[in-house]
Amino acid sequence: MLPGTVGIVGQKAEWGGMHGQALQRRGLSVEVAAKLGWKPCGGPSDDLWIAMPVVDQGQRIGTKYRTITGTKVFSQDKGTPQILYNIDCLRDPQLAGYPLVICEGELDAASAIQAGYPKTVSVPTGAPQTDSGAEWSYLVHAKPLLDNQRPIILAVDNDQPGQVLQEGLARRLGRSRCQALDYPAGKDLNDVLITQGITAVRHTLAQAHYMPLSGLHRLHELPERPVRPALDTHIPGLEPHFRVRRGDLVVVTGPPGHGKSSFVANLACNMAWHWQTSTAIASFESAVVPDLRRVLRSFRAECLEIYMGDGSKQVADEWINRYFAFVGAENENEERTLGWLLERFAAAKQRYDCGICCIDPWNEVSIADKPDGWTVEQWVSQSLKVVKNFAREHDVAFIIVAHPRKLGRDRYGNIPKPHLWDIADSASWANRCDVGIVIYRKDIMDRNAPTEISVEKSRDYYSIGRPGMVMLHWQPETSRFVRPL
């Protein structure tokens, strides 16, 4: 007889007769039962009962009882602490290399141990009804022993309470180290043992898979993203540097009066004329009627509005009605918060199929919904994140005209050319945009001076172009940027 087996052999002898046969019908060996200290016992019903000692640090601190035939009934000695069953296996240095298996009941735990997974515990009271409350206190007791365990196989029941238990354990123990099981039969490990044998239990545990974790994928798990075509703006010379693609955030900046709004209007008109793409514009510094309408009419008619006849105006207005929608508060006291604007842009996409949304300029967006305690910089950063998510979710290109911070003048009285990092309130303008464009004229007083259109940032060189600059002339008669003569 091997040393240390005298007590186990003695307990095995207690499993003769009906209790031993009932245990074997559950697929469990009397050797495993004896090793765990289980004993046959009587109970308050005629079913066969067993007693299972609850041990912590080598000391028996209580006893649990359950039936192994007939109706499933549980009881325990008064005052038995609610701790992980078989918790001492977590203290055994010889089991350091084994995965930890957490089961929903003692019979499932014995099934795993019998299959060669000795570092197995069971929750003390089965699956909880909710994901909160005192039923989870056993994890506090076991925390020092659980902190360094990995991986952790959650061998819970395949039913709704079991899912509550699995999600609760994963949340508390850390989803990154938790694995789940797919049972080939029944709803737990003991069902697998009864119906398919010990080899099936080993295979089930060996095939444990990590629980899904948002934001972490293998290549084959990633879906193919739909191809979003990048469209030529038809602004002369700009095609190698900037092409419009839905889902992108485009930020346009430049000093006041240098042509930011003119650039956006030309871009929107070209997208309508060449690609039949509609645009929704929130124009805060220029009234739609008559200011913005005048610019759009000139593009369509290719002449100044003052030279248009009624027929030309009607044709132009029909074209504007077809390809443009305008967002603005009808009540001056209405707060034009970002949420307010996005709701209307979403409606423009749904009702008018607008593929471009534009805010001109950003500084007119109300910060009334800025959370208390947030700085404006934090609010801008979070707002741009929301806008980017909106652009992708609604499949639109989103253009924001943003003013730079106040810049000093040089000794000649000229405003220096700003960059994306000079946009007011936040560095997030440069960080979060997919395309960053600067509009600048060295001499704003000279009508013949060219305009620099600089693409300072492009997040995707292959699809939407490389950074670069073109020098163009604004032609108010046709509302277009054209090449200098």
The predicted-structure confidence for 422-461, as pLDDT tens digits, reads as follows 998 889 999 999 999 999 998 877 878 899 999 999 999 9
Report the alpha-carbon distance of residue 439 to residue 250 in Å, rounded: 13
Confidence of residue 224 (pLDDT cuts 50, 70, 90): confident
Q: What pTM did the predictor assign?
A: 0.71
Residue-wise pLDDT for 340-359, tens only, equals: 999 999 999 999 999 999 99
- How far is CA 320 from its chain centroid? 38
Q: Which domains does the chain have, with CATH numbers?
A: 82-211 (3.40.1360.10), 231-482 (3.40.50.300)
Q: What are phi and psi of 381, to 5 degrees?
A: -60, -45
Report the alpha-carbon distance of residue 483 to residue 235 in Å, rounded: 9
Q: What is the mean pLDDT of residues 100-128?
A: 97
Report the alpha-carbon distance of residue 478 to residue 303 in Å, rounded: 5
pLDDT at 412 over 70: no
pLDDT at 2 over 60: no
Q: If you write DSSP's letter for every residue of 339-386 in order, what string do you get?
A: HHHHHHHHHHHHHH-EEEEEEE-GGGSB-TTPPTT--HHHHHHHHHHH
Q: What pLDDT score was predicted for residue 12?
A: 63
pLDDT above 90 coverage of the chain, percent: 83
Confidence of residue 230 (pLDDT cuts 50, 70, 90): very high
Residue-wise pLDDT for 4-43, tens only, equals: 333 444 466 688 889 999 999 999 999 999 999 999 999 9
| CA dihedral of 387, 389, 394, 395, whole degrees rounded to 10 | 100
More confident position, 125 or 394: 394
Q: What is the mean pLDDT of residues 278-282?
A: 97
Residues forming beta bridges with residue 358, ordered by sequence position: 281, 399
Amino acid at 140: V
The residues, ordered by sequence, that sit 6+ positions from 36 with a Cβ below 8 Å of its Cβ are 52, 86, 110, 113
Which residue is it, tokens 């009334």?
A: 368
Sign of CA pseudo-dihedral 42, 43, 45, 50: negative
Average pLDDT along the chain: 93
Q: What pLDDT score was predicted for residue 11?
A: 65
pLDDT at 408 over 80: no
Candidates 191, 10, 28, 212; CA nearest to 113 is 28
Copy the structure tokens of residue 154.
């959650």
Q: What is the mean pLDDT of residues 199-205?
A: 98
Provide the 3-class DSSP secondary structure of residue 153.
Answer: strand
Q: What pLDDT score was predicted for residue 345?
A: 98
CB contact at 8 A, 80 and 52: no
Q: What pLDDT score was predicted for residue 76?
A: 94
Report the alpha-carbon distance of residue 119 to residue 194 in Å, rounded: 21
Burial class (CB in 10 A: 0-12, 13-18, 19+), 125: middle
Copy the structure tokens of residue 234.
């038809």
- Tell me how long the chain is: 485
Confidence of residue 3 (pLDDT cuts 50, 70, 90): very low
Q: What is the mean pLDDT of residues 373-391?
A: 96
